[in-house]
Structure 1
Amino acid sequence: MNHAQWKTRRTRQMFGEKAEPSQAYTNAGDAMALGQTVHDRRKELGLSQKDAAERADMMQPQISTIEQASAEPTLAFLRRLAKALEARLSIDLELGRGLHLRLHSLDRGQACAGGNARRSCAA
């Protein structure tokens, strides 16, 4: 979504029109939620990006790219990342609501949501 599209969408919303988010807007939100979840879990474990990357058999820039919401990772990538972050990955597909990703901490049963789900971490 470019700036003009965003501005048009915002104007419509201000006048009470219902403006459905574009797929690009939804994808960006998903990437941001995932990136924040990965960052939070990595920090919780006291890991640097380099440490997390080594655990996942990746390079540090790959972790950075995910945390900055600049990539759409594959399922295999997410599995390796979850293992490196000592978490269990669950993916839910809901008709009409999209994709929901969750990393479940293995040490305390904590679930941190990523994807379309609102960001939440509950012990």
Structure 2
Amino acid sequence: MNHSRWKTARTRALLGEQVSEDSAVAALRLEIRYALVFGQAHYDRRTELGLSKGEVARRAGLTLAQIEQIEGGDTVPTLPLLQRLAAALEAELDIHVAAGAEAEVRFHSPAA
């Protein structure tokens, strides 16, 4: 969707008109929301532990730029990367995704 179409669709939405969004745009928006939710959960756990981005990167075998991309919501991690990040943050990772609901992502200390 080009910028002028987006602006028009946004304006129509603000005016209360029905706005249809093609499935590709909807899927992209959902992916972006998931990446942002995950990035925020990663940031929250990292700061809870008092770790720097560099320390998490070292522990996970990543670069500082990769950690910044993850926390900024610029990337959607793969399952193997999720496992490495959970280990680096000394945590278990819970991800809850349901149709029609916002995704929930939570790092937490492992059960004793």
Count of residue correspondences: 107
TM-score after normalising by structure 1: 0.70
2: CA distance, partners of 1:106 / 1:44: 11
The match for 1:24 is 28
Which segments of structure 1 move beyond 4 Å, counting only runs of 4 or more? none
Larger gyration radius, structure 1 or structure 2: 2
The match for 1:37 is 41
1: CA distance, partners of 2:28 / 2:4: 14
1:48 maps to 2:52: yes
1:76 maps to 2:77: no
Q: 1:107 offset after TM fit, Å?
A: 6.9
Would you tell me which structure has more strand in proportion to its own residues?
Answer: 1
Would you tell me which structure has more helix in proportion to its own residues?
Answer: 2
Residue ranges of structure 1 left out of the alignment (5+ in a row): 109-123
Query: Residue 27 and residue 51 in structure 1: after superposition, are their counterparts in 2 closer, same or farther (change >3 A)?
Result: same
1:11 maps to 2:8: no
Three-state SS of the structure 2 residue aligned to 1:29 is helix
Query: Residue 100 and residue 50 in structure 1: after superposition, are their counterparts in 2 closer, same or farther (change >3 A)?
Result: same
Q: 1:43 offset after TM fit, Å?
A: 1.3
Identity of aligned residues (%): 40
- Alignment deviations for residues 9-66 of structure 1 (CA, whole Å, 9 cap, x no partner): 3122122134457222222222122112211211111111110011112222211110
2: CA distance, partners of 1:92 / 1:36: 15
